[in-house]
Amino acid sequence: MDNKRIIIAIDGHSSCGKSTFAKTIAARLGYIFIDTGAMYRAVTLYALEHGAIRSGIADEDMIVSMLDDIDIQFRFNSERGASDIYVNGDLVECKIRTIEVSNCVSAVSSIGEVRRRLVALQQHMGQKRGIVMDGRDIGTVVFPDAELKIYMTADAMVRAERRYKELTAKGDKVTLEEIYENVVSRDKADMTRAISPLRKADDALVLDNSTMSVEEQMAWFMERYEEIIKR
């Protein structure tokens, strides 16, 4: 394998399996995986726990005032073969995946100062290259010069079913209808927000994984990756 280390940017809709795909790529290549969505969820969780979000309404000024108090770190978990996210030293990997956080994260991620702070942190993390980063503006805002950009999408109901299975497997009491409504509303919020809306970078490769297994996605990816590093 070529020793050339690149930045791989994975953008796309919520519940497309971006994180699973990115983790698998990182493990295959020996790269560092950075889940940017988890970072926004971490800020959302902190805001919920500290009263900055009430009845689903985010207090933007209060959230911005809290940012200096939020320390986000990723630590590799050898049992999972992936990195867990910590906020101020506390493991929050499971806490950030609840439907309550999912319903509020778009409002938090649309706050300009939140995005500016986290984008700067993400860019700092990628200085040494050899990373796989997923989110909703990685190829357009965070790393517009990334060597390989992938835009992931899938049918909304397919995404809702995947998310439903993930949450119910953890014992969460949710309905498929509730999850579907969340997926659709997040798509709308992400694509219409004023700051860094979700969009495909002009040079991104589209991957619709509605009917693809992880193995099939990886086969698709490796072909494109080999083409890039041989240039």
pLDDT for residue 85 is more than 70: yes
Residue whose pair of structure tokens reads 């494109």 in the numeric block:
224
What average pLDDT does the structure give for the chain?
Answer: 91
- Predicted confidence band of residue 126 (pLDDT cuts 50, 70, 90): confident
Residue 84: the pLDDT is 87
What average pLDDT score do residues 154-174 get?
Answer: 92
Residue 119: the pLDDT is 93
What average pLDDT score do residues 66-88 get?
Answer: 87
Instruction: Give which of 203, 201, 206, 207 is closest to 140, Cα–Cα.
Output: 201
Domain borders along the chain are 7-229
The helix (run of H) or strand (run of E) holding residue 87 is strand 82-87
Q: Tokens for 129?
A: 């290259």
pLDDT for residue 129 is more than 80: yes
* Dist. CA 87–CA 110, nearest whole Å: 20
- CB atoms < 10 A from the CB of 165, how many? 12
* Dist. CA 35–CA 148, nearest whole Å: 17
Whether the full predicted model's pTM is greater than 0.85, yes or no, is no
Domain 7-229 has CATH 3.40.50.300: yes
For residue 31, the 8-state DSSP code is P
